[in-house]
Amino acid sequence: MRFTDMLQAASVRADSMLCVGLDPEPSKFPAAWKGDATRIADFCCGIVDATKDLVGSYKPQIAYFAAHRAEDQLERVMAHIRRVAPGVPVILDAKRGDIGSTAAQYAREAFERYQADAVTLSPYMGFDSIEPYLKYDGKGLILLCRTSNPGGSDLQAQRLADGSLLYEQVARMAAGDWNRNGQLGLVVGATFPAEIARVRELAPTLPLLIPGVGAQGGDAEATVRAGWRGAAAGDLSGTTGAIMVNSSRAVLYASAGEDWASAARAAAIATRDLLRRAGRAA
């Protein structure tokens, strides 16, 4: 199944815009596993088991695994998601950005080794930095557009000769000639609701991955109002591209006690319901 179709179906089935980010930090694990990097897969799989019926997507961040030499555990987590939540798309958050044979190897890593349904990419080396990924039919490419960090403005908010901003040009290209396989999406930070609305205007049908809700201070309700319009109240099939509102730390580390899995589920339910209410009001 194509990534965009899989995402739409999962979002409707769970009635959820929530994307749970899997950013495992052993120093924040429950007491019995605290500091033990060999438990990364166990922890992430426990989070998946607790939330699999509540989400529209998952987003494991590769650096949190690689820093602990835990790439094999990432493979285990990806396989576990495919087994227990086979309809939920998995976005490998890698933010790769290179060209030629190197980009081809990164694409192979994401889509063959890890079997991801989509991958995040930096588009700032141009179209040939994403072209090798397009060879994987049906896979999603989520391009950095307007990121949630304050320093993103250093480049993304630069004004071009035609008066537009750089992030706006990225959105236009992603919605236009670059979208040769119909599988591109954009990353837009929840800390910039006005920019989310602008990106949605420029790229009305592209899925948006929206990090920054929760620990980073993004307003969940403002995010949904800016990025999504439903065909009718409560209808997640929408009239625009799907949105994936990411929450990582607020879900993963809702409790450091023995109730960590149930606490993660409760946090996911609360966030899903908040997003759902905002969607119905949009």
What residues are labeled active site?
95
CB-based contacts of 163-167 (< 8 A; 24+ apart in sequence): 167/195, 167/199
φ/ψ of 91, rounded to 5, equals: -105, 115
CA distance linking residue 63 with residue 41, whole number of Å: 14
DSSP state of 117: S
Phi, psi of 214 (to 5 degrees): 95, -115
Q: Which amino acid is at 92?
A: L
Sequence letter at residue 215? A
Supply 98's token pair.
């290179």
Sequence length of the chain is 282
Q: Which uninterrupted H or E stretch holds 208?
A: strand 208-210
